[in-house]
Amino acid sequence: MLNTIARFFYRYVFKRSSTYTLGVMISTMYFERIYDEACEYLFETVNKGRLWKDIKHRYEK
């Protein structure tokens, strides 16, 4: 099973540098998006109650 998956990736992704580069670029975009969402969630969790969206009602008239 693992050999079949490795063979598939070698044939269709890693064999040519153009497909490898495209795969790296697409993976980078998805990784960046996931990483950004995770960091944003962590920041908002740690700073809950101190963010503008949490205290805005105190200063609005």
Is residue 61 over pLDDT 90? no
What single letter denotes the amino acid at residue 24?
V
Residues 23 and 15 sit within 8 Å (Cβ to Cβ): no
CA distance 12 to 61: 61
Q: Give per-residue pLDDT as tens, 4-51.
A: 999 998 999 899 999 999 999 999 999 999 999 999 999 999 999 999
Q: Where are the domains of the chain?
A: 1-58
Q: pTM for this one?
A: 0.70
Quick one: pLDDT at residue 30? 98
The CATH architecture to which 1-58 belongs is Up-down Bundle (1.20)
